[in-house]
A and B are shown apart, each in its own frame.
Chain A
Amino acid sequence: MIDLVGGVPLYILEFGDELVYLTPYTITLFLLALTFTVLALISQPEKQIDIAFGGDAYRAKEISVDEMRFRRFMAIACGLATMGAMVTGDIFNFTLFTAMVGITNVGIVAAVKSPHVQDAAYQYGLVALAATVPLFAGAAVYAAVTGSLSMIELMKGTVPAVPLIAKGMLMLGVIGEGMAPFYAAKAEMFRAPGAPYVIMCSLSSLLIFLRVVEIIMLG
């Protein structure tokens, strides 16, 4: 009996042992990530303008084509990783995609010529680096206790129950990728100019968080 957490899987795509399954919940998240990736692909970056308070002076921040292309590449990579994390049916695969989202988020702002943004990105990168420890440890405990990594098997309830500590590790790992209360460094990264790409950082964390909530409710 398949538990109705995110809805009944409508379609299961077979990738060897790693099934990709689509439920109404994951389809919604996937379409959101897809739409935003397409937006990042076709849109021009914003141009920030600083206006001197109380005067007529203003200063436009120019983004070079080279920088824009690199950031667009990273934003699209981030979108693809997010899409993968939304539909994957395998715990270890999910943690891999989450780690990839973390590193592409650093890449999106790595090209910005602002020391403040760079500092924030560095601090965020450290947290994302450390977050891989509980993330992959959680997946390892999943594998050890249940003997399987497939979410479909967890849904069916044919494997032993997942201990709370494994769910906690998985959750802490995802939270380290930029959810509250560890979001401050990420919020500072938003000072970087170039709107559609920077928003990708925020959207990917949000979607990953929504997905991990579904995953820890399985099994």
Chain B
Amino acid sequence: MIIRKISHFLCNYENIMPLFAGACLLLFIAGILLLPLPYSEKQLYPKTFDRNSSLDPYDRGGPPFTQVSIVSQYPENSPTAGLVTSYLTPFSLFLSQVTMHLGTTIVAHPGGIIDEILYNTRGLDTVVEATILFIAFAIASYIYRKV
């Protein structure tokens, strides 16, 4: 009997979203109650910030075309990691020289910084992320043209 009531409630698909939101809420409350979670000090991708660099959050340091030691899970798979720490188009280079805030405009101008760590060691991630955007754009444009 209770199962019948539950499935009757669920068969109206407009109830699904509040139900899922409730499930997320319960899980996140449980997550808060289970704090603190242990934090592993030995992080795979350590982050250091040089606030005086114009490339601030993306600055990996090191002179160009000299290999910088970049931490990765399987260094033997990425022998060229660290040879190029960032790529700047002439326009980006100009911006980085006149302003201190190029790091905040990574997607806001053409040919921004291609983050070498992502590009060299986690290349598949960047490909899949761009593919998700492309798929969403394809669906939106198809629906827009159809209407």
Q: Is B23 an interface residue (CB 8 A)?
A: yes
Given the complex, which residues of A lie within 8 Å of B30, measured CB to CB?
165, 168
Q: Are the C-beta atoms of A130 and B24 separated by less than 8 Å?
A: yes
Q: Are the C-beta atoms of B125 and A127 separated by less than 8 Å?
A: no
Contact indicator per residue, chain A 88-113, by CB within 8 Å of chain B (1) or not (0): 10101100110110011011001100
Q: Which of B15, B78, B135 makes the CB contact (< 8 A) with A107? A: B135
Write the nearest CB–CB distance from A21 to chain B, whole angstroms: 12
Given the complex, which residues of A lie within 8 Å of B81, measured CB to CB?
16
Q: Range of interface residues on chain A?
A: 35 or more
Main SS of chain A's interface residues? Answer: helix
Given the complex, which residues of B lie within 8 Å of A17, measured CB to CB?
44, 72-74, 77-78, 121-122
Q: A111 vs B142: C-alpha distance in the bound complex, in angstroms?
A: 8
Q: Which residues of A from 127 to 176 have beta carbons under 8 Å from B?
A: 127, 130-131, 133-134, 141, 143-150, 153, 159-160, 163-165, 168-169, 172, 176
Which residue numbers of B lie inside 8 Å of A, CB to CB?
A: 6, 10-17, 19-21, 23-24, 27-28, 30-31, 34, 37-44, 72-74, 77-78, 81, 120-125, 128-129, 131-132, 135-136, 138-139, 142-143, 146
A-B contact pairs, 20 of them (CB 8 A): A14-B74, A100-B128, A100-B131, A103-B139, A104-B135, A107-B139, A123-B17, A134-B24, A141-B37, A144-B43, A145-B37, A145-B39, A147-B44, A149-B44, A150-B74, A160-B38, A165-B34, A168-B31, A169-B27, A181-B19
Q: Is A38 an interface residue (CB 8 A)?
A: no
Q: Which of A111, A143, A176 makes the CB contact (< 8 A) with B44? A: A143
* Contacts A96-B132, A107-B142, A131-B20 known; 15 new A-B pairs at CB < 8 A: A16-B124, A17-B72, A17-B121, A84-B128, A90-B124, A92-B125, A110-B139, A130-B20, A144-B43, A147-B41, A150-B74, A160-B38, A172-B27, A181-B6, A184-B11
Main SS of chain B's interface residues? Answer: helix
Contact indicator per residue, chain A 1-38, by CB within 8 Å of chain B (1) or not (0): 00000000000001111110000000000000000000
Q: Is A70 an interface residue (CB 8 A)?
A: yes
Q: Are the C-beta atoms of B121 and A100 separated by less than 8 Å?
A: no
Q: Are the C-beta atoms of B131 and A148 separated by less than 8 Å?
A: no
